[in-house]
Amino acid sequence: MPPSSSASPAKNPSAHRRERLDSPPPKKIKPMIEIMAAAKQAQLQEDRRLDAGKDYENLMCEQCGSGEKENEILLCDRCDKGFHMLCLSPIVVRVPIGLWFCPACAADHRRPLKVFSQKKIDDFFRIQKSTHLAVKCVSPQDIRRRRKHTLGYHKKRRKLLPFTPTEDPEQRLVQMGTLATALTALHMEFSNELTYAPSMARRHANQAKLENDGMQVLSKEDTETLEQCRSMCKSGLWPPLIVKFDSREGYTVEADAAIKDMTLIAEYTGDVDYIRNRQNDDCDSMMTLLLAADPSKSLVICPDKRGNIARFINGINNHTSVGRKKQNVKCVRYNVKGECRVLLVAIRDIGKGERLYYDYNGYEHEYPTHHFL
């Protein structure tokens, strides 16, 4: 018996296909990342709407009780209280980027460390695993023993020692992860050497011979130590340092293992620029590179876009005896093969867990440190 014209679509395959073609296509489900991004944007707009409804006319500084200079008052993103930038301890020299928490709220605020894989660490710090960069770690005792027989009349001269990397690769990953976290938080790129941008000073401007009254020349042995440390860093062997966030001092650097006196901690790196271009710059981490007899040729290092762990080593309050006792690192400028370089060197034995400090006023004695802890 032939099929009836009233046969159901389930029994008529061609009719079933026509029905599917005529029906509207199913709706696509948005990816979760798009949903979360839209929710975050909606929350941000809601926060702005609520902030617009708040009364900030009678805003007062919680520290001094004054409402003057309201353009210099920072609002805590947690408790909504106001503080003058100069009333904080330590003072805040420029408006922070992103969220800012007052000292009371920052004490409870824990910044979670990002978990970095070995590949991400290698990419972030541009570590080269080539066998040509394999460096044999030489102990300070071996170096002293070797130099004892070769220096002769230079026996009393103190020499730089290379840092001793942490043997545990997992702990080295943690150390480098803390630095990557701090650099990322400040929107900085890692750079372990001086950089010369087209809009700033060029490399030919960095001439140690221009230094007023001359510059100390780094000896051949110490230059070899500097190059050894740079090679170790390129191959993924780093000094035993860890970056931590403190509610009062911001990012700080601690020794993750014992460090011997005269150990080369790090070289101060970043973009090189003329001092004249930075007269009104509010960056609190500029470092003197060259003090030329002609002031127009003087140079500074500016680690606001690029830099390394030296950017996070804090300064001492050199107006108090307590502050001066905290110093365990010295900042020294050297003539290295005709160029000015800035090195941070341990001036005494540093124990594990001890924070690193140096004197910001190593040369000009003009940096205000009375507000430092």
**What domains does the chain contain, in order, with CATH numbers?**
60-114 (3.30.40.10), 116-129+160-372 (2.170.270.10)
Q: Is the omega angle on the peptide bond into residue 90 within 30 degrees of 0, that is, cis? A: yes
CB contact at 8 A, 287 and 262: no
**CB-based contacts of 209: which residues, under 8 Å, 6+ apart?**
338
**CB-based contacts of 115: which residues, under 8 Å, 6+ apart?**
177
250: number of Cβ within 10 Å: 16
Q: Phi and psi of 203, rounded to 5°?
A: -65, -35
pLDDT tens per residue across all 373 residues of the chain:
444 444 444 444 444 444 444 555 555 555 655 655 555 555 555 555 555 555 556 788 888 888 888 888 888 887 888 888 888 876 776 677 666 778 777 765 455 555 678 888 888 888 887 544 444 455 555 555 555 544 444 445 689 999 999 999 999 999 999 999 999 988 999 999 999 999 999 999 999 999 998 999 999 999 999 999 999 999 999 999 999 988 778 889 999 999 999 999 999 999 999 999 988 776 678 899 999 999 999 999 999 899 999 999 998 887 788 888 999 999 999 999 999 999 999 999 999 999 999 988 765 555 666 667 6
User: What are the DSSP E strand ranges found in the chain?
Assistant: 73-75, 82-84, 189-190, 241-246, 250-255, 264-267, 271-274, 287-290, 299-302, 306-307, 314-315, 329-336, 339-346, 357-358
H helices of 186-327, in order, are 220-234, 321-325
Here the tokens at position 283 are 């960056």
Adjacent-strand bridge partners of 341? 334
CB contact at 8 A, 358 and 313: yes
The pTM of this model reads 0.67
Pairing mode of beta strands 250-255, 241-246: antiparallel
